Structure 1
Amino acid sequence: MMAARTLSVLPISTASSQFDCRKLCQSSMSFPLNLKQDVLVNSLLDIPLSLRSSHLRPLFRKPRAAVATVLFSLPTAKPERASTEKDSKWSARAIKSFAMAELEARKLKYPNTGTEALLMGILVEGTSQVAKFLRANGITLFKVREETVKLLGKSDMYFFSPEHPPLTEPAQRALDWAVDEKLKAGESGEITTTHLLLGIWSEKESAGHKIMAALGFDDEKAKELSKSMDKDVILSYR
């Protein structure tokens, strides 16, 4: 009898407990839904009352748009000449070539942008007449990179170049040579990638000059290029 009595009680208590549990779950589920969103967030995150949802930063942010550095001129070691450079600006191709040179220096993990990087930048830009001239004479970006590594070696794999690797002294002199040649000519127009390449060639002891010479560039080709320094500018207006 005791066993039967116990069995008859168990279903009743179990059913009532299930009913109470169901009511409790429904009430607990409906309670947060009636709260305001800011109160719910604050309670869940357990933050002080002095901080409200308006002060909370979103958990997921939209990625910021990349900011590109736009250059209107190239570095010079002769600041006193800045006023005269207003009449002679660098061409868009030359400026892009310089930006690509910095990128090539960073790819090779070099601490500076040298004449070899300026040469690679001209070839990476690729649309100028001097870049086409170099490729026609067998001087390609792949060959210049290969010669650069042979001459200067590989950088430490754990080294990270700065965002804008500073110019080496020969590279800076090459830029200034290009500007000087344009000013000496006394002609209007832009300083082109041809000026830039001949500036690299003028630095006899630089890595860029040595690489160009190793790949077959010589004074005769330099003279051929010097006759068409402003050709890039003429084509750019067509």
Structure 2
Amino acid sequence: MAARTLSVLPSTTAASQSACRKPIQSSQSFPCYLRPAILVNTLLGNKLSLRPSNLRPLLRRQRPAVATVLFSLPTAKPDRAPAEKIPKWSARAIKSFAMAELEARKLKYPNTGTEALLMGILVEGTSLAAIFLRANGITLLKVREETIKLLGKSDMYFFSPEHPPLTEPAQKALDWAVDEKLKSGDNGEITTTHLLLGIWSEEESAGHKIMATLGFDNEKAKELAKSINDDVILSYR
């Protein structure tokens, strides 16, 4: 396999042959996503400085995206309050959102809807909202089945974007969660409980209809709403 790989490279000069014979153990101390570039450059005889100062720009590129994801989710109302007063989303809520996008892609849907947000909460699985849903018989498998019944299957040749954009009801569910937290005046984070109740607030959405079909109702919503602060405490464990 190694010989076949080297055969497609340009003819090696004395310098490159010497480089090929040199061990490349130094690359092992760097992140795995940098090692292929180090290996290729070494095989081609290119000089590649492994000093941390030269690698810093590559590592720095990862930080802005991480910082953005850690603190907020997409919003249609950026001016609802000063930025410093907008509450942060909990880690479980952020993970649920990421899992929602993944579920939308698995089903090959072009958008992330309230049904995907609901599945994302269940995939994350450790939040109070997810535990409450399962205790009431609402599981990931049932939600997925009801989603396909309601929305159908996507074209098998269609490929969802890496981050399927939110549908209007899904965006409203996120904004409802933020606004509800702001109204409460409580400190702490916006949790998956806020997110789930935001889905329920969109009565015409697929997520609401699926929850209703599986037995969720206004009484259960009120019961869950009493435990919003407990979910905040749970998110720090």
Length-normalised TM-score, structure 2: 0.72
Instruction: Give yes or no for contact 1:122–1:193 (8 Å, CA) kept in 2.
Output: yes
Q: Using the alignment, how far apart are the partners of 2:136 and 2:202 within structure 1?
A: 20
Offset, 1:95 = 0.4
Instruction: Give yes or no for contact 1:87–1:188 (8 Å, CA) kept in 2.
Output: no
Instruction: Give yes or no for contact 1:203–1:209 (8 Å, CA) kept in 2.
Output: yes
Relative distance call for 1:36 and 1:203 in structure 2 (3 A) is closer
Query: Hey, what does 1:111 align to over in structure 2?
Result: 110
Instruction: Give yes or no for contact 1:170–1:203 (8 Å, CA) kept in 2.
Output: yes
Relative distance call for 1:39 and 1:157 in structure 2 (3 A) is closer
Query: Hey, what does 1:170 align to over in structure 2?
Result: 169
The aligned runs of 1:46-61 (5 Å cut-off) are 54=45
Relative distance call for 1:82 and 1:185 in structure 2 (3 A) is closer
Instruction: Give yes or no for contact 1:175–1:199 (8 Å, CA) kept in 2.
Output: yes
2:71 is the alignment partner of 1:94: no
Instruction: Give yes or no for contact 1:190–1:230 (8 Å, CA) kept in 2.
Output: no
Query: Hey, what does 1:151 align to over in structure 2?
Result: 150
Offset, 1:216 = 0.2
Q: Which stretch has the larger CA shift, 84-93 or 141-150?
A: 84-93
Q: Using the alignment, how far apart are the partners of 2:107 and 2:159 within structure 1?
A: 9
Query: Hey, what does 1:77 align to over in structure 2?
Result: 76
Query: Hey, what does 2:120 align to over in structure 1?
Result: 121
Q: Deviations over 1:135-169 (max 9, x none)?
A: 01000000000000000000000000000000000
The aligned runs of 1:151-230 (5 Å cut-off) are 151-230=150-229
Structure with bigger gyration radius = 1
Instruction: Give yes or no for contact 2:128–2:234 (8 Å, CA) kept in 1.
Output: no
Relative distance call for 1:85 and 1:168 in structure 2 (3 A) is farther
Relative distance call for 1:115 and 1:54 in structure 2 (3 A) is same
C-alpha RMSD of the superposition: 2.6
Q: Using the alignment, how far apart are the partners of 1:85 and 1:109 within structure 2?
A: 37
> Out of 18, 37, 57, which is 2:14 matched to?
37
Offset, 1:86 = 3.8
Q: Using the alignment, how far apart are the partners of 1:182 and 1:164 within structure 2?
A: 26
* SS of residue paired to 2:76: coil
TM superposition outliers: structure 1 runs of 4+ over 3 Å: 38-41, 53-57, 67-70, 84-87
The percentage of aligned residue pairs carrying the same residue is: 79
Offset, 1:40 = 7.0
Q: Using the alignment, how far apart are the partners of 1:39 and 1:121 within structure 2?
A: 50
Instruction: Give yes or no for contact 1:114–1:170 (8 Å, CA) kept in 2.
Output: yes
* SS of residue paired to 2:228: coil
* SS of residue paired to 1:163: coil
Query: Hey, what does 1:130 align to over in structure 2?
Result: 129
Q: Counterpart amino acid of 1:182?
A: K
Relative distance call for 1:140 and 1:54 in structure 2 (3 A) is same
Relative distance call for 1:40 and 1:194 in structure 2 (3 A) is closer
Instruction: Give yes or no for contact 2:114–2:207 (8 Å, CA) kept in 1.
Output: yes
Q: Counterpart amino acid of 2:227?
A: S
Q: Using the alignment, how far apart are the partners of 1:237 and 1:205 within structure 2?
A: 33
Instruction: Give yes or no for contact 1:112–1:168 (8 Å, CA) kept in 2.
Output: yes
What number of residue pairs does the alignment pair up? 186
